[in-house]
A and B are shown apart, each in its own frame.
Chain A
Amino acid sequence: MIFSLVFRVAARLLVPVLLVFSVFMLLRGHNHPGGGFVGGLVAASAFVLYALAAGVHNAQTILRTDPRTLLGAGLAFAYGAGLLALATETAFLKGLWLDVHLPLLGDLHLGSTLLFDIGVMLVVVGTVLLMIFSVEDRLPGLVED
């Protein structure tokens, strides 16, 4: 399969935009539409776009890890957010909030729900990419490079 040069260059420009946008979606999800799930879907579609433009093998290279690793890390993050609340002798998964002042960033209102959301995002990215990569690999005519 020959990959289009125009599409590959466009994908190279679009992938960073989509990844930044997915982080934006993740962070604003607490008070507005968005959140870990949508952010994860946008991030996953960035890698799917690259897989369509430059091949599954190249997409796996820029992902750097196996999608299964992302899945496990995401579950660990979400579970860790729950255990964090359990460790402070409140209910499992109860949101904990911490107000800190950092030199450059100013006052931050950090919560363990963000940790949980990051976990959800990683699980979604891992699951979607695991599905897409394995489906694309099986299809005849889609070579690795």
Chain B
Amino acid sequence: MVSLEGPLLWGALLTLFLLSASILAALVRVLRGPSLADRVVALDLVAYLAMGFLMTYAILVGESTYIDAALVLGLLAFLGTVAVARYIERIRSGEGVVQ
């Protein structure tokens, strides 16, 4: 159920296509990333791109529910990144060794 027409429709479709390509590119970095930190940053990027995807899709189908999903994702996406950053920091400082 698409509610847009004309150039706006093509713009939304192009945006969705470009965001999908960006998510794929970020996923390549997740798979290949030499270090753990690279993978974490790439996963963070995937989360924010998914947010943009959800917003564009909300405009495309005219459904406001997706905006709330994007809101939750935006509020919570960085939480996992912070947790892993703390984990990496602990490994570096040698505190991560279990007694």
Q: Contact residues of A with B, CB < 8 Å?
A: 1, 7, 14, 17-18, 21, 25, 32-34, 42, 45, 48-49, 52, 139-141
Contact = CB atoms under 8 A, between A and B. Distances in A.
Contacts, number: 40
Q: Which label, helix, strand, loop or mixed, suits the secondary structure of the B interface?
A: helix
Contact of B95 (A32, A45, A141): A141
Contact of A32 (B65, B71, B90, B96): B65
17 contacts: A1-B95, A17-B75, A18-B75, A18-B76, A21-B71, A21-B72, A21-B75, A25-B72, A34-B68, A42-B72, A42-B75, A52-B79, A52-B86, A140-B96, A140-B99, A141-B90, A141-B95
Given A33-B69, A42-B76, 17 more contacts: A1-B90, A7-B82, A17-B75, A32-B65, A33-B65, A42-B72, A42-B75, A45-B76, A45-B79, A49-B79, A49-B82, A52-B83, A139-B90, A140-B98, A140-B99, A141-B90, A141-B93
B27 to A, nearest CB: 24
Contact of A14 (B69, B72, B75, B98): B75
Interface of B: 65, 68-69, 71-72, 75-76, 79, 82-83, 86, 90, 93, 95-99
A114 B76 CA distance: 25
A86 B49 CA distance: 49
A45 B97 CA distance: 27
Contacts of A48: 79
A141 B96 contact: yes
